[in-house]
Structure 1
């Protein structure tokens, strides 16, 4: 009798999940590297999350990506939580280990930095302060990564100031908090400027913060990638900034999970971008 090895399965869980580009991305990599495996989007309600995590490994799943609204909840259901996932307070990548334990990690920060290094190789984190718009889960991953790579100061403005204040408590003295109405002033002397809010995303309100104080030659990046060139990036480029769109962060944050699940480190290149954009 022939012993057929189990085909590894992975996927993305969230609710909703139909909008996710991850199945296209991982499907492209599986095909490119000739790997027998599948990546499946699964809309799982909060109430069913714990049961799903017990069941999926039995069905041949080796891991998952996690998106809204499960990124925080998942930490309480995992057996092992990486230091960075604990610091950020959210996980986006799960590995179902052979010993039955669930390992939770967060690759958003490393994906964010890898995107900047690839698309703005001249970027120097130590060149000056970073200005961050927004204080949600994505911002936590970004701020943790910026501090890790040597940014001297991180300025944060959020519509709800209290959320931004929590960053100073969690990430320390390098963080300074600015009022939302004064957010444009954060740009004075800032070498790196990041929009982590949904402002400017297709179907969301516009990003209306004036960029008059943006330094020429600063790096500006938006985590939004629908549209690929947001109004924020258009205005930043017109002001003389180097701009990097948010799609690369999606691609780079996915690579470590793919490697752990399928045993191949995927390359993030122009062909990968085109595949995800449907070109």
Structure 2
């Protein structure tokens, strides 16, 4: 019997920690399965899905930058993701063999801040890409207050506010931060090989939370600046593990052992 497998695709992809996470859970549960990283460029995205559709051992793939929006056109959207989040981070083979797309980023993002009193609170978001769409979707469901998006393309950011029915404003990256209760970096700035995200955090109140979705490196310049101000922080592994757990169950039909999260974090940071 052929070993079932899933993958994570992106461009670049060598930094991805998803194979370590999913293999940790596969080994812990004793599954006959594998999980790999596969480099897919934008020009190769269509061919990738055509090849994998023909492989019955392939369960699906997690999707990272820059494919989260483009991949929507290559799968069935049975859950109405296009009309809500507008981007997917998971494609999987359904029981009838059809490839369907979904998004576990929103759930993975929300889990670490579920206990925060964010209803009606002001929020600042950096970036307006596929990850931002999932995060803004989650924020709209929480019922946050005014949302300020800082992005290179201000018109794109403004369109996202409108799409998710959020009140707020879109500003260039150089604009000063508002006094937000939550600051989220959804962009690739700060990632290994990318420019650092340099923000003046002084406008944030003392009880603000800074949430970084970049995990390579784990200690970004944004997190260093937040900790220098003694602000509470959420690092990129929290969202990565959270969305990965939701994806793992969909891909392999088994619940990952979340009681071993500390052990997993130690593996990821060693």
TM over 0.5: yes
Listed as ranges, the matches of 1:26-175 within 5 Å are 26-59=22-55, 60-117=57-114, 121=115, 123-126=116-119, 128-175=121-168
Bigger drift between 137-146 and 78-87 goes to 78-87
Aligned counterparts of 1:200 and 1:49: Cα–Cα separation in 2: 26
TM-score by length of 1: 0.87
Partner of 2:207: 217
Which stretches in structure 1 are left out of the alignment for 5+ residues?
Answer: none
Q: Tell me how far 1:209 sits from its aligned partner.
A: 2.0
Contact 1:198–1:204 (CA under 8 A) maintained in structure 2: yes
Question: 2:13 maps to which residue?
Answer: 17
Distance 2:197 2:66 in 1: 24
5+ residue gaps in structure 2?
Answer: none
> Could you report, residue by residue, the CA deviation over 1:155-209 in whole angstroms, capped at 9, with x for unpaired residues?
112122112111122112424223433332x1x2x21111223333333323222
Matches within 5 A, 1:196-207: 196-207=186-197
Distance of aligned partners of 1:41 and 1:227 in 2 relative to their CA distance in 1, 3 Å threshold: closer
Q: 1:50 and 1:162, CA in 2 relative to 1: closer, same or farther beyond 3 A?
A: same
Root-mean-square deviation (CA), in Å? 2.1
More helix per residue: 1
Alignment of 1:8 with 2:4, yes or no, is: yes
Question: Are 1:167 and 1:175, in contact at CA under 8 Å, matched by a contact in 2?
Answer: no
- Partners of 1:161 and 1:127 in 2: how far apart? 24
C-alpha separation between the residues in 1 aligned to 2:58 and 2:69? 21
| 1:11 CA drift (Å) | 1.0
Q: Does 1:259 align with 2:249?
A: yes
Larger radius of gyration: 1
Secondary structure, aligned partner of 2:149? strand
1:57 CA drift (Å): 4.0
Identify the residue that residue 231 of structure 2 maps to in structure 1.
241
- Structure-2 residue corresponding to 1:176: 169
Alpha-carbon distance in 1 for matches of 2:15, 2:215: 12
Instruction: Classify the secondary structure of the residue corresponding to 1:125.
Output: coil
Q: For residue 35 of structure 1, report the CA deviation from its aligned partner.
A: 0.7
**1:83-124 deviations in Å (ceiling 9; x for gaps):** 34543322110110121211101111211111334xxx4x22
Judge which range, 12-21 or 135-144, deviates more. Answer: 12-21
The answer as to whether partners of 2:120 and 2:143 remain within 8 angstroms in 1 is: no
- Pair 1:46–1:157, CA change in 2 (3 A): closer
- 8 Å Cα contact 1:85/1:105 also seen in 2: no
Q: Relative to structure 1, is the Cα distance of residues 199 and 44 closer, same or farther in structure 2, using a 3 angstrom cutoff?
A: closer
Find out whether 1:273 has 2:265 as its counterpart: yes
Q: Distance in 1 between matches of 2:49 and 2:172?
A: 40
**How big is the shift at 1:81?**
4.5
TM-score, normalised relative to structure 2: 0.89
